[in-house]
Chains A and B, each alone.
Chain A
Amino acid sequence: MTNDGPSPDELIRAALQRTAACPPVESLELYLHKADPRIAAHLQSCAYCATELQLLESFHSAEISAEDAAAVNAITQRLKRSASQERRPPQEQPKSWWRFGGSWLRPAMLASAAILVVAAIGLQLRRGGPPELRHIASQTNDVFRAQTVTILSPHGDLQTPPEDVRWEPEPSAVTYQVRLLEVDGHELWTAKGANTNMPFPPAIRALMVPAKTLSLSVEAFNAQGQKVATSGIVSFRILQKIYPR
């Protein structure tokens, strides 16, 4: 008996690898639209192609789960900001990022930037004094930019208890925290999520009795867990029903 053979993990990997019998991705794309018995038979016996087909189908469908929506929105906003540069007037229009990346000028620009950095460091050293310290507040993990989350609903006077709280997305946020407060600041309920709405649990809706003013706040956090925006306090109340005599 010997142990010179492949390890179990290597065996598993080799057994699941793509083989010469696997169809190209173009054939799998066709299979998405029209069933082909030969491809179907191959998929029954090939985990590699079955996986590839699922990934391809998922990419084509572009379906975005509710929990990914806020993050995907933030990423597409960044992509749009890059692309929107090309809509500026020609005299101030920089090349789009995808053209800039291939420019022959890039090495020269990098070299110029390096010279400027060296010159700046040299000047700083000649001044001799200690560098200015940043204010301590700038090192905290709190809000970096004066951004606000706009609560769309509920606010003001309402006829019935709201089903949920809704707000506008903050591009750099991946999670949000909602807080429901009484007027004295006592927290009734809080919840976190990635969507731009949050349903109120039935037990909390039951607390929204007529004429009682309640307050809401929404805070947005980025992928590092830093707070990037806040809504401030928004109030609402349920109107009392007036029954005719």
Chain B
Amino acid sequence: MEDFTDEDLLLRYRSSPNSDAAEPLLNQLFQHHHSRVAAWCYRITGDVDSASDLAQEIFLKAFQRLDSFRGESRFTTWLYTIARNHCMDWLRSRPSTPQQFEEMPDQLADFRSEAISSVLERRESEQLVRKLMRESLDDTEAKVMTLHYVHELPLDSVTRILRLTNPSGAKAHVVNARRKLAKAVALWKNRPAPARGGTDDE
């Protein structure tokens, strides 16, 4: 069969979805993405059997939702969102032992009790933490923290997905980031009162 682009294949499929030619068109479309979905799933799971199951489920989901693809992005991007959400849901659904880090540094604990609860509104405090993180963390640390804390990915998955090559992988970056953040909070606390936005009641 001629090698059409994803968009051509979809166009042809949609022109006659019930014809005999429709199924090979879809197979060809999905085959274009076998290796990228396989690689993605393997990086998430770290084992072939789970990754194979996830990859098949992703293609099944893509088939079932094919009508929702409106060409606002490339087909690859649309498939990426399905793959990302499906794999992250799978990770969250697995029973896992929470990662234990060293005791939260004093400065960050203080920041919680003083600065957040009684001094600043939560929204302001989030903005402040965001600012401190932006100023103190490097790119890799910020990405590791996002994947681990926001997307709730286990550290071994974060290590594989970001292709971290340091010996202890994502864990080292989380530990470093937390220390840096604690230091930044300590510096912020020791700044002269006017520089703290005038909301401090000290």
Contact = CB atoms under 8 A, between A and B. Distances in A.
Q: Do A and B make up one complex? A: yes
Contacts of B47: 174, 223
A71 to B, nearest CB: 5
B139 A50 contact: yes
The 5 lowest CB-CB distance pairs between A and B, nearest first, are A5-B117, A62-B36, A47-B142, A75-B38, A15-B129
B113 interface: yes
B52 A78 contact: yes
Given A6-B112, A29-B74, A47 B145 contact: yes
A3 interface: yes
Contacts of A8: 104, 108-109, 111-112
Contacts of B122: 5-6, 14
A76 interface: yes
Nearest to A47: B142
5 contacts: A6-B125, A18-B150, A51-B143, A62-B35, A72-B42
B150 A86 contact: no
Interface string B24-48: 1011001100111111111100011
Given A12-B181, A56-B77, A72-B42, A102 B64 contact: yes
Interface in A55-83: 55-56, 58-60, 62-65, 68, 71-72, 74-76, 78-80, 82-83
B168 interface: no
Interface stretch (A93-101, A184-192, A196-204): A93-101
A68 B43 contact: yes
Interface residues of B, number: 67
Interface residues of A, number: 57
Contact of B126 (A14, A47, A80): A14
Among B39, B47, B114, B149, the most chain A Cβ lie within 10 Å of the Cβ of B39
Contacts of B130: 15-16
A234 B97 CA distance: 45
B42 A54 contact: no
A64 B111 contact: no
Interface stretch (B8-16, B78-86, B187-195): B78-86
A172 to B, nearest CB: 7
Nearest to B107: A8
B155 interface: no
B23 interface: yes
